[in-house]
A and B are shown apart, each in its own frame.
Chain A
């Protein structure tokens, strides 16, 4: 094989040329090994991120997208809310909806027709005016089956919204949103929806640029310049690194946008987050999942740690299609034997409140019903009535939960409580996230850890999920009475009357029928130094418009370690 010997020889010659001919002289070898060091300057040669932003926020997991129609996560939503605005926006102090792109609106007496008047000075960051047509386009786009938006359900309150999304209606003109003129939008709803103005501030309903989306398709958010309707425009989006935004000078309220350049750092590791914060590299941590649980006690004592109530509930589901959980006495007995106080005081320790009902307190015009308290004696009696005195004959069952330190500790604690109080044996079944989700959905579990965070400030975001046909029910529990109560409640225009119906529905959920058992309400937790940062106000939906946040005048970034 003459050819290959030649090739080999020339290969050797090439090596010799490099000075490593036989790899015998250590010096050239050493130089070869040091070669990677030459790469170092590349690191500093990367463009952008020239200086520290005015505000550095550790935001949480990497956003799945910045497309308002597509996102579902809260971390995604916080960035998207800075970039895109809807007809309303949320007020920084109380998170109530206030005028956004629409400066006023009229609501028909029956609560089903909303007429919005857009600001005439609203414009895209690229200069084009924002018109009523843009609003119609954005909402139809969310419902369009081709967009495949997870959160399309947020617009099922529009007349024919669900029908259009399911493909039963092909003509978007039949959906209940219309442009009356360039600056007037009319929305027709399927019923009075007291939280519709809250929904208008939700990212899914934000206004997105038709001209950019039609030009670039699904990738429009990564094609600069991305036209935005909100207070900030996108400077740079580096995956697993940061999203940098700067003040949008064309925003209608640009004068009240306080910080010019803001970095949202994406992060998964709580330790790294806290390290960056403590060394002064970040100003704010505002994601609950980024607080290291082991350090909770020490961190909560810090003056820059802020905890508050928000719309999140940790609970467990019963699979009511399986014996013995088809018996409500069994479900109630188990619920009464859980000492929830112990869970929040010994395990979570982040200021969580014990939950006897499913909807957290504090929502407008809704006072949740009383649920069940801790009562192990009553629990034993009920279990005996159900045919299992002292736990005798109770089948061994499983508690399904996902991988996570806290959830593991809670399940072990519940296991011990039920064993001790009721004499029943439960096995723990810890599953990887997707496996856990599939098991919940397929009703392939006995008792399963669950959680829910409200999307808007109204009990409906908690109560409609247990209606018989809701995909999030996942208990096998179907109650026509419950369905009727929620539906009837949502048909009311009188808030007091509505409350009555919804309360009755929730009473079924947490006292009479008990397909679920609430354990505790989540507590929100933020880290920021209130001597230096202002404009963050605790609220139930844990949303804090970035435009309102700023460093106090004269406060320098402090680099302190302890």
Chain B
């Protein structure tokens, strides 16, 4: 029941987001048809606005947009005029999805064990080294990691391609460059979660019961300690799935992240609103799933 209610609540929320995005993008100075070359007469610009209904009052444009949305139509791109927003999402989103899931897997696959290990070895050498690596990963941004990886593995060693999106090999460096930062964050969350859980009363009880240390750590502590990581996983996944402008740009990957940034620079109104909605849907649905998984992982949480 609880989840049903939340799911129903998504709809008005999305409507609100679309209305806000629709209005806000039009507040920014300039429009989709402002270019270095002005059309030689004002008539040409008038024709352009008329064609895309930008000459109508805002509420009418919004209703028109909602009408399109109801049919699953995000409208035309005003920058890439031969493509619709649907075309562009259909081409870019699968690429960003693949790369995002790979990076997500990398971030969790490296971050969780690393965080777990450093927490268990707290104060020892392993903790120092592991924590240092995690902090390093968080501190060095993608636009530094990306070119560094390219320089070492693609140019000097020649093991991997420098860019483009053609084969599994082409996915290795972008996955590392995109996932590294998040693996550091996940490791730190996991470590904190583990450390605070190990102070909980039920761990002491478990120890008193004489359970083996691995059983305590894995069966009892991990389960609770991983909760912050899980709650972070929702927004993280939404973030990764919608692509990364920096990484897509460095490795020239035909994903959706580049469009998310460029469309705002181009004032490509339907494109911005469409991508904002896409991001919102992903974020809301994934958050819902995260909350759902809470009740599975932590029995103290009960919904309904």
In the bound complex, do residue B81 and residue A65 qualify as a contact, i.e. CB atoms below 8 Å apart?
yes
In the bound complex, do residue B48 and residue A4 qualify as a contact, i.e. CB atoms below 8 Å apart?
no
Quick one: CB contact mask for B65-101 with A, threshold 8 Å, 1 for yes? 0000000000010011111100110011000001001
In the bound complex, do residue A152 and residue B39 qualify as a contact, i.e. CB atoms below 8 Å apart?
yes
The verdict on A65 contacting B226 (CB below 8 Å), with A36-B102, A166-B43, A451-B36 known, is: no
**B34 contacts across to A, CB distance below 8 A:** 434, 437-438, 441
CA distance A15 to B106 in the complex (A): 22
**A147 contacts across to B, CB distance below 8 A:** 47, 51
B167 within 8 A of A: yes
**A36 contacts across to B, CB distance below 8 A:** 98, 101-102, 104-105
**B48 contacts across to A, CB distance below 8 A:** 148, 150
CA distance A233 to B214 in the complex (A): 65
A271 within 8 A of B: yes
Count of residues in A whose CB is under 8 Å from the partner chain: 81
CA distance A23 to B43 in the complex (A): 65
**B33 contacts across to A, CB distance below 8 A:** 150
Specify which of A4, A64, A279, A472 is in contact with B2 (CB 8 Å cutoff): A4
B168 within 8 A of A: yes
Chain B: minimal CB distance from A27 (Å): 11
In the bound complex, do residue B252 and residue A222 qualify as a contact, i.e. CB atoms below 8 Å apart?
no
In the bound complex, do residue B82 and residue A67 qualify as a contact, i.e. CB atoms below 8 Å apart?
yes
Specify which of A25, A44, A150, A239 is in contact with B39 (CB 8 Å cutoff): A150
Chain A: minimal CB distance from B185 (Å): 16
Of chain B, the residue at the smallest CB distance from A441 is B38
CA distance A378 to B267 in the complex (A): 45
A125 within 8 A of B: no
Chain A: minimal CB distance from B206 (Å): 13
In the bound complex, do residue A272 and residue B252 qualify as a contact, i.e. CB atoms below 8 Å apart?
yes
Chain B: minimal CB distance from A222 (Å): 6
Chain B: minimal CB distance from A241 (Å): 4
In the bound complex, do residue B108 and residue A221 qualify as a contact, i.e. CB atoms below 8 Å apart?
no
CB-contacts of B163-218 with A (<8 A)? 163-168, 170-171, 218
**A238 contacts across to B, CB distance below 8 A:** 91, 254
Chain B: minimal CB distance from A244 (Å): 12
**B79 contacts across to A, CB distance below 8 A:** 64
B296 within 8 A of A: yes
A109 within 8 A of B: no
Of chain B, the residue at the smallest CB distance from A8 is B295
Of B11-19, B129-137, B153-161, B280-288, which stretch is located at the interface?
B153-161
A420 within 8 A of B: no
Chain A contact residues, majority secondary structure: helix
How many A-B residue pairs have C-beta atoms within 8 angstroms? Tell me: 224
Of A188-196, A262-270, A490-498, which stretch is located at the interface?
A262-270
Of chain B, the residue at the smallest CB distance from A4 is B304
Of chain A, the residue at the smallest CB distance from B28 is A434
A62 within 8 A of B: yes
A41 within 8 A of B: yes
**A3 contacts across to B, CB distance below 8 A:** 1
Chain A: minimal CB distance from B107 (Å): 9
In the bound complex, do residue B258 and residue A471 qualify as a contact, i.e. CB atoms below 8 Å apart?
no
**A279 contacts across to B, CB distance below 8 A:** 154-155, 158, 161-162
A295 within 8 A of B: no
CA distance A12 to B101 in the complex (A): 24
A341 within 8 A of B: no
**B156 contacts across to A, CB distance below 8 A:** 561
B300 within 8 A of A: no
**A148 contacts across to B, CB distance below 8 A:** 44, 47-48, 50-52
CA distance A47 to B256 in the complex (A): 19
CA distance A68 to B69 in the complex (A): 30
**B171 contacts across to A, CB distance below 8 A:** 40, 43
CA distance A220 to B83 in the complex (A): 10
Quick one: CB contact mask for B265-283 with A, threshold 8 Å, 1 for yes? 1110000000000000000
CB-contacts of A173-204 with B (<8 A)? none
Of chain A, the residue at the smallest CB distance from B156 is A561
The verdict on A22 contacting B223 (CB below 8 Å), with A49-B166, A167-B43 known, is: yes
A11 within 8 A of B: yes
In the bound complex, do residue B304 and residue A145 qualify as a contact, i.e. CB atoms below 8 Å apart?
no
In the bound complex, do residue B218 and residue A26 qualify as a contact, i.e. CB atoms below 8 Å apart?
yes
A328 within 8 A of B: no
B-side residues, CB < 8 A to A, are: 1-3, 28-31, 33-45, 47-48, 50-52, 76, 79-84, 87-88, 91-92, 98, 101-102, 104-105, 108-109, 112, 147, 150, 154-156, 158, 161-168, 170-171, 218-219, 222-223, 226, 248-255, 258-259, 265-267, 292, 295-297, 303-304
Q: List 25 A-B contacts (CB under 8 A).
A: A1-B304, A4-B304, A8-B303, A11-B292, A11-B296, A12-B296, A36-B104, A39-B102, A40-B102, A49-B166, A62-B80, A65-B81, A165-B43, A218-B76, A219-B83, A241-B254, A267-B252, A269-B249, A275-B162, A278-B155, A435-B29, A441-B34, A441-B38, A471-B42, A561-B158
15 more contacts with CB within 8 A, not counting A36-B98, A148-B52, are A33-B109, A36-B102, A43-B98, A43-B167, A43-B171, A44-B167, A149-B44, A150-B48, A153-B41, A240-B253, A241-B165, A268-B258, A271-B250, A276-B164, A434-B30
Q: Which 10 A-B pairs have the closest CB atoms?
A: A434-B30, A153-B40, A471-B38, A36-B105, A4-B304, A166-B43, A241-B254, A36-B101, A148-B51, A275-B162
